[in-house]
Amino acid sequence: MGVDPGLTRCGFAVVQMQPNRSGESLHVEVKGTSSDEDLAVRILAIQRAAEQLLDEFAPDVLAIERVFSSANAPTAIATAQASGVVIAAAAARGIPVAWHTPSEVKAAVTDDGRADKDAVARMVARILNLPGLPKPVDATDAYAVAICHGWRSGVGAKFNMTAATATHQGARTALQKAAAQRSTGMTAAQRAWQDAERRAARR
């Protein structure tokens, strides 16, 4: 599932990527909130929209556009607030989260990291075999983020989805930690205790 985060408009797109670098749109929507509403109510609305889609579609991964600093501080803050609740909703369900920069998304979809929005929309429509250009732009961007992650991580091409997921600042996802635990049969605390015992035995 791809997400174009925003507090006024937050785009969500669920796609199924194929090994032949094509894909299918399963769902797309843009959740909007009004600036006249209380901030807490707006953030909650975005959170609930994300939770509903995550529960309905249970995606393999949630890919979200990375928040960049902006000359417009209020916009950057609002985007970060929307991102936070969407990310938390995915993490609460054990769904891996991946971040991609706008230039990464454009380069993946159009082969040009500086492509304009029309070029991105045309390629999204072509890749997903849509009947027309996706609208509004928030829907296009959500689709593009999902496509970008699908191609960069090898979804549908027998890649290990958990291992391929890139996380913010290199943090390991909950699923990666669980996979590591299953491979050893021990929790992180148990492994730490075992390592301590080994070090003590060598003294």
Catalytically annotated residues = 4, 65, 138
**Structural contact between residues 161 and 168, judged by C-beta atoms closer than 8 angstroms:** no
Of 11, 45, 38, the closest CA to residue 121 belongs to 11
Calculate the alpha carbon distances from 38 to 33, 74, 81, 140 in Å: 10, 15, 14, 28
* Residue 60, Ramachandran bin (φ over 0: left; ψ between -120 and 50: alpha; else beta): alpha
Give average pLDDT by consecutive 10-residue segment, the chain, 203 residues.
97 93 95 96 98 98 84 86 98 97 94 95 97 97 97 58 38 43 50 56 55
Claim to verify: residue 153 and residue 185 sit in the same structural domain: no
CATH number of the structural domain spanning residue 164: 3.30.420.10
Binding site for Mg(2+): residue ranges? 4, 65, 138
Claim to verify: residue 41 and residue 136 sit in the same structural domain: yes
Claim to verify: residue 177 and residue 162 sit in the same structural domain: no
